[in-house]
């Protein structure tokens, strides 16, 4: 079971004052030294935090896996094919949202993502989809040709004692594995609520950002990552 650390909020802090620091590239190195298995960044259309400069430097500097979250647009595909991250997680974007509000609704998408995904894969990039815990979405994910899904854990994270939410995630995770998809999870996960998700053997990787960056304010990023690694890898 692995941990990919989302460092978007380091860039958010930088952009709050339009300074050159704190540098998300430096943060990525600290996260790796803390034991992170990968680094996640979301390059948004409005460039509110992560910039192309960050993405390009991260590709050159980090030693683990670079995961790029992005919308399925022509502009982002061009950037991705230039930088070539190890994997891409396609996510929805809405103007003005504080954070991603939900998973991609594959059932109601107007465009066919299959050729878009195939183009990225043909260039050596693994592709996944960020989805709500809905079994119907899994069927569409399989048709799209992706290699993995990331389950949106936001509702569970808000109500970690809710057995119903955990069951939803478990069912989707099992359905995805039966179809040959690798299963990741992320959104709203922290040092406490992750414990329920660690009972699901189908989940092989977590993407966690805000909780780790918030903890890092008090103990440093390297230790904050190491603490989360201890929880994740100590569970098995």
Annotated binding-site residues read 6, 8-9, 17, 44, 49, 99, 188, 209-210
Helical ranges in the chain per DSSP H:
8-17, 24-33, 52-61, 74-83, 114-122, 135-144, 154-158, 163-178, 194-197, 210-219, 221-233
Active-site residue 42, yes or no?
yes
Select which of 30, 69, 140, 165 is catalytic. 69
Give me the torsion for CA of 162, 94, 54, 38, rounded to 10°: 30
Which residues fall in the annotated binding site for 1-deoxy-D-xylulose 5-phosphate? 8-9, 44, 49, 99
Distance CA 204, CA 197 (A): 11
Which residues fall in the annotated binding site for 3-amino-2-oxopropyl phosphate? 6, 17, 188, 209-210
Active-site residue 122, yes or no?
no
Which strand (E) or helix (H) includes residue 5? strand 2-6
Per-residue DSSP letter, 151: E
Active-site residue 184, yes or no?
no
Select which of 30, 140, 184, 187 is catalytic. 187
Give me the torsion for CA of 81, 86, 91, 93, rounded to 10°: -50
Q: Are 79 and 99 in contact (CB under 8 A)?
A: no
Length of the chain: 236
> What are residue 23's phi and psi, to 5 degrees?
-90, 120
Give the rounded distance of the alpha carbon of 20 from its chain centre. Answer: 25
Select which of 42, 140, 150, 165 is catalytic. 42
Give the residue among 148, 94, 138, 93 at the shortest CA–CA distance from 117: 148
Which strand (E) or helix (H) includes residue 39? strand 38-42
List active site positions.
42, 69, 187
């Amino acid at each position: 079971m692995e941990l990919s650390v989302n460092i978007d909020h380091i860039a958010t802090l930088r952009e709050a004052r339009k300074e050159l620091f704190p540098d998300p590239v430096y943060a990525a190195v600290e996260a790796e030294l803390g034991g992170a298995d990968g680094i996640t960044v979301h390059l948004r259309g409005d460039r509110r935090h992560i910039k192309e400069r960050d993405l390009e430097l991260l590709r050159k500097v980090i030693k683990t896996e670079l995961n790029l979250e992005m919308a399925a647009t022509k502009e982002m595909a061009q950037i991705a094919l230039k930088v070539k991250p190890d994997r891409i997680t396609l996510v929805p974007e809405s103007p003005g949202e504080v954070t991603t509000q939900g998973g991609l609704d594959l059932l109601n998408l107007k465009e066919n993502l299959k050729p878009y995904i195939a183009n990225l894969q043909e260039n050596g990039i693994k592709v996944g989809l960020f989805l709500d815990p809905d079994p119907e979405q899994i069927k569409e994910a399989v048709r799209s040709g992706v290699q993995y899904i990331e389950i949106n854990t936001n509702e569970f994270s808000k109500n970690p004692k809710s057995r119903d939410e955990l069951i939803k995630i478990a069912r989707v995770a099992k359905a995805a594995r039966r179809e040959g998809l690798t299963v990741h999870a992320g959104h709203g996960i922290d040092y406490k609520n992750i414990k329920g998700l660690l009972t699901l053997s189908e989940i092989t990787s977590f993407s966690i950002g805000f909780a780790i960056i918030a903890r890092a304010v008090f103990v440093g990023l390297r230790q904050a990552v190491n603490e989360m690694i201890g929880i994740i890898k100590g569970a098995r």
